[in-house]
Amino acid sequence: MKKDEILDNLRNSIVEGISEEAVGFIHKAIDTNIDSKQILDEAIIRGAEEVGIRYEKGEYFLADMLLAADAINECMNIVRPKLIWEKHDTKGKILIGTPEGDIHDIGKSIIIALLQGQGFEIFDLGVDVPPEKFVEVALKEDPDIIALSGLLTVTISKMIETVTMLKKKGIKAKIIVGGGILSEESCKYIGADAWTKDGWKGVKIIKNLMGDN
């Protein structure tokens, strides 16, 4: 099977939510020496985007999205260790989570994998995280960056609450927010230092925030 064919099959099995098939193709992709960045960009991220399009068109329902999410997460578990390119000293500590009320975590697991691949140490608080939890762990771990991921419009108000509380407690870490609902304007309202709706761009921004160009 040609490389393009393997990536197409992988993407399709993700979109169809057939986990065993997706796992089979991801192993095939790795055995064929397809670059892990290419697997992530052309099959996993594009597959996740296609699921979103189908949902928005009314062709997919919640059950379809959950099956696709399972397939994506299984693929991420396999590809994540392959994304670790640099195994030297940690580039910095990042505390990440999806704020309270929001359970979307596909984008978050992708950005975590990208950041770990670049040598960052990650503290993942998971999903549905109350502002108090961000504060508690930020005080304990003293991260360089605090990253909030969110996909629901209502999450913006939780991001505002979280950032306000972090600043009130004197936490000096730079704050980045990420996810499809964000914009320059919402970033300003939230009080974050940066925003993005693109994983690779997010890595670049975080490196800039750390002063590492």
Q: Provide the minimum distance between the beta carbon of 47 and ligand B12 in the complex, in angstroms, as a whole number.
A: 9
Q: Provide the minimum distance between the beta carbon of 117 and ligand B12 in the complex, in angstroms, as a whole number.
A: 13
In the shown chain, the binding pattern of residues 57 to 96 toward ligand B12, with x for contact by CB under 6 A and - for none, equals -----x--xx--x---------------------------
Distances (CA, A) of 14 to 62, 73, 143, 192: 15, 10, 34, 33
11 binds ligand B12 (CB under 6 A): no
In the shown chain, the binding pattern of residues 167 to 186 toward ligand B12, with x for contact by CB under 6 A and - for none, equals ---------x-xxxx-----
Q: How many residues bind ligand B12 (CB under 6 A)?
A: 36
Question: Which residues, in sequence order, are CB contacts of 172 under 8 Å at separation 6+?
Answer: none
Contact 151, 48 (CB under 8 A): no
104 binds ligand B12 (CB under 6 A): yes
CB nearer to ligand B12: give 1 or 61.
Answer: 61
Please name every residue paired with 121 in a beta bridge, in sequence order, or none if there are none: 93
Q: Provide the minimum distance between the beta carbon of 35 and ligand B12 in the complex, in angstroms, as a whole number.
A: 17
Among positions 3, 37, 55, 123, the unique one binding ligand B12 when judged by CB under 6 A: 55
CB nearer to ligand B12: give 31 or 211.
Answer: 211
Contact 14, 70 (CB under 8 A): no
DSSP letter at 82? Answer: G
In the block, residue with structure tokens 């392959």: 82
Contact 129, 104 (CB under 8 A): no
Report helix, strand and coil shares of the chain as percent, to nearest 5: 60, 10, 30
Instruction: For helices 46-56 and 106-117, give the axis angle rounded to 10 degrees.
Output: 160
Please name every residue paired with 122 in a beta bridge, in sequence order, or none if there are none: 94
Pick the stretch among 25-33, 42-50, 132-140, 164-172 that binds ligand B12 (CB under 6 A): 42-50
CB count within 10 Å of CB 92 equals: 21
Q: Provide the minimum distance between the beta carbon of 164 and ligand B12 in the complex, in angstroms, as a whole number.
A: 18
Interface with ligand B12 (CB under 6 A) = 45, 48-49, 51-52, 55-56, 62, 65-66, 69, 101-108, 110-111, 147, 149, 151-153, 176, 178-181, 196-199, 202
